[in-house]
Amino acid sequence: MTPLLKVTNLAVEFSTYGGIVCAVRGVDFELEAGKTLAIVGESGCGKSVTVQSMMGLTPMPPGRLVSGSARLRGEEILGQRRVQGKEVRGAEIGMIFQDPMTSLNPTMTIGDQIAEPLQVHRGFSRREAFTEAVKLLELTKIPEAQKRAKQYPFEFSGGMLQRAMIAMAIACKPSILIADEPTTALDVTIQAQILDLLQDIQQEIGMAIILITHDLGVVARVADEVAVMYAGKVVEFGKVDDIFYRSAHPYTVGLRAAMPVNDPSRNHVLSPIEGSPPDLFSPPAGCGYCSRCPEAMEICATEAPPTKALNRGHTSSCWLQQDGAPHPESLFFNEERL
């Protein structure tokens, strides 16, 4: 089947006073309709830049699209405002930004801000758009939606602002919803409510979701597939069970080993990943994780590893997965080791 979205060899760099930052260095992934893809990695690995470049939100200059392709239903969208008569940004792809406190206009009511994309992309009248905005607030489970739609952002709590952002992002019923750290600033109870809400809306309108997060607990809860990014590249891709129970890349193994386990019967000691990410002003010639990898070999420092398919839909970019390479027992992660 043709995937809903296919990103191939996406590379983005930024010109700065210090030089050229190679923020994204050849990213590949696919997303099927109605599925949830989680993009995981530490700060600075290129997660947000990847999706923002795809949507045309990366300022150019200082940004520059070096190479790549992003096809929505087979149609190229990189650098395009419209595809098959529809606006890409807002209509086909919606986005929830990291901080709702700074992403909403403080001088406009919540209802007017949700109504605006309906007027721009769907041609609704002001009254029709506001009526629909109230319905969207009800869909996101905000009480007294009619009253709340006439209030300003400062009158909303953090959790309610995130719900308003979700309402705005799904107003035009996009094919894809990008959620960039949607639960970062929320307490645990509200996080769970927001994740449940996203899943409910996904089932109701049938959209696919790209979830950007640092939290592996969130990934385990909602994702169907996972792309693990490091130093501007996808180092491992697979279904959520592959990533959690059959981790193949040493970085993924390190992330899992550093994750707390909620089981008093296990004497689990967290193992932090030593060292720092590479300098993307001058990316390493070989594997970006080489300097931090406990299983690194000589070839890892000089040649970038090819991507190898381990089984259906599960790939890893590591020399240890190539034919003839050593396979240390410590590499492959499983629950028994906890």
Which among 204, 223, 242 is the end of a domain? 223
Domain count, the chain: 2
pLDDT, tens digit, 9 for 90 and up, residues 116-173: 888 888 888 888 889 989 988 888 888 888 999 998 999 888 788 888 888 888 888 8
Last-in-domain residue among 223, 246, 266: 223
Q: Are 74 and 2 in contact (CB under 8 A)?
A: yes
pLDDT in tens, the chain (338 residues): 678 899 999 999 999 888 899 989 989 998 988 899 999 988 888 888 898 888 888 888 888 888 888 888 888 888 777 776 677 777 788 888 877 777 888 899 999 999 988 888 888 888 888 998 998 888 888 888 899 999 899 988 878 888 888 888 888 888 899 988 887 767 777 778 888 888 888 888 888 999 998 888 888 888 899 999 998 899 999 999 888 888 888 998 888 887 777 666 666 677 778 888 888 898 888 888 888 888 888 888 888 888 888 888 888 988 888 776 666 555 554 444 33
pLDDT by residue (tens digit) across 301-318? Answer: 888 888 888 888 888 988
pLDDT at position 124, please?
86
Do 133 and 265 have their domain in common? Answer: no
Residues 43 and 83 reside in one and the same domain = yes
Contacts of 278-282 with CB under 8 Å at 24 or more apart are 278/231, 280/21, 280/22, 280/23, 280/25, 280/44, 280/231, 280/232, 281/18, 281/19, 281/20, 281/21, 281/22, 282/19
Residue 156 and residue 279 in one domain: no
Measured distance CA(128)–CA(284) in Å, rounded = 54
- Output the pTM of the full model: 0.86
Query: 170, 202, 223 — which closes off a domain?
Result: 223
Tell whether 321 and 274 lie within a shared domain: yes
Q: How many CB atoms lie within 10 A of CB 34?
A: 15
**How far is the C-alpha of 155 from the C-alpha of 148, rounded, in Å?**
9
Q: Is 328 exposed, middle or buried (0-12, 13-18, 19+ CB in 10 A)?
A: exposed
Q: How far apart are CA 1 and CA 34, in angstroms?
A: 14
Q: Are residues 165 and 237 in the same domain?
A: no
Domain shared by 181 and 257, yes or no: no
Q: Are 140 and 164 in contact (CB under 8 A)?
A: yes
CATH number where 120 lies: 3.40.50.300
Amino acid (1-letter code) at residue 2: T
12 and 57 share one domain = yes
Residues 43 and 99 in one domain: yes
Domain assignment of residue 160, given as a range: 5-223
Q: At what angle do helices 158-169 and 126-139 cross, to 10 degrees?
A: 120
Amino acid identity of residue 217, one-letter, is: G
142-163 CB burial, b ≥16 within 10 A, e <16 = beebeebbeeebeebeebbbbb
Which region holds residue 78: left if phi is over 0, alpha if psi is between -120 and 50, else beta? beta
User: In this structure, are 178 and 247 located in the same domain?
Assistant: no
For the CA atoms of 278, 281, 282, 286, what is the dihedral angle to 10 degrees? 40
- Co-location of 259 and 160 in the same domain: no
**Torsion region of 206: left, alpha or beta (phi above 0 gives left; psi -120 to 50 gives alpha):** left
Same domain, 36 and 126: yes
Assess whether 179 and 251 both reside in one domain. no
Q: What is the CA radius of gyration of the chain?
A: 21
Segments of the chain assigned E as strands: 5-16, 19-31, 36-40, 63-72, 75-76, 82-83, 86-87, 93-96, 176-180, 208-213, 225-230, 233-239, 307-311, 314-317
